[in-house]
Amino acid sequence: MSSESSRAKATVHAVPTLEMERSIGSEGFDLIIGLDEVGRGSLAGPVMVGAASLLSASLRDHDVPEGLADSKMLSPQRRERLVAPLRAWTDTCAIGSASNREIDQLGISHALGLAALRAICAVEKALKLQSGSGQARVAAILDGPFDYVTKALNAFDTPDVSIIPKVFTKIRADSSCATVAAASVLAKVRRDAVMTELSLSSPEYAPFHWEHNKGYGSAAHREAIRKFGPSDLHRVTWHLL
């Protein structure tokens, strides 16, 4: 059993609620989007931000899906089993991505903002939200203390978001807010699958064993970088060794 699976099995995790989502909805926001990132500290591959949204009008009819928790507290198997229920539970969900090259060129903070805005844009398009008179009010709950979403809105490469969300930051929102926990699980499962597919897609990537480390800096991954040099999917501006 992997150390990740052992920790997840042994840990009694906090159960997220919809308390913050309902509080924000009561302030007149029509859509609540939970946001969480995965891959920030990886040495290779993209960073991704999951977005799990609920319409305020439907919040009273939602219960928290059984077994939902911060993705870091769940085994890979439990995360994968949650994907279908979470997709059915949300009014819509999406995952935005920023590549390793964007991270190298723009920095991790801006890349996270771009990935988040790409996810928000996909949510708004799926729900057919449009700017203009009488438009919906959108709120986003972002895990952590720093609002990298709003900061990225003023950049030249900002995605065409229909409605600019009001961002609420909350430390450990991934363990206390159900939409953010859902976003963390969906993003983690997607990114793990992408890194596994990339690892198996070419002999060039095989030595790094991303199917096991998902691009993070394990001893074996760093040794492979030392032996073979970085690939075109590594974040070359980072301290790889």
Which region, left, alpha or beta, applies to residue 74 given φ > 0 means left and ψ of -120 to 50 means alpha? beta
Tokens of 42: 């990886």
Q: Would the annotation count 36 as a binding residue?
A: yes
- Cα angle 93, 97, 102 (rounded to 5 degrees) comes to 160
Residue 223's alpha-carbon distances to 30, 207, 213, 234, in angstroms, are: 50, 10, 13, 14
Q: Would the annotation count 37 as a binding residue?
A: yes
Q: Would the annotation count 30 as a binding residue?
A: no
Q: Dihedral of CA 46/49/108/241: which sign?
A: negative
What is the rounded distance in angstroms from the CA atom of residue 69 to the CA atom of residue 148?
23
Show binding-site residues for a divalent metal cation: 36-37, 143
Show binding-site residues: 36-37, 143
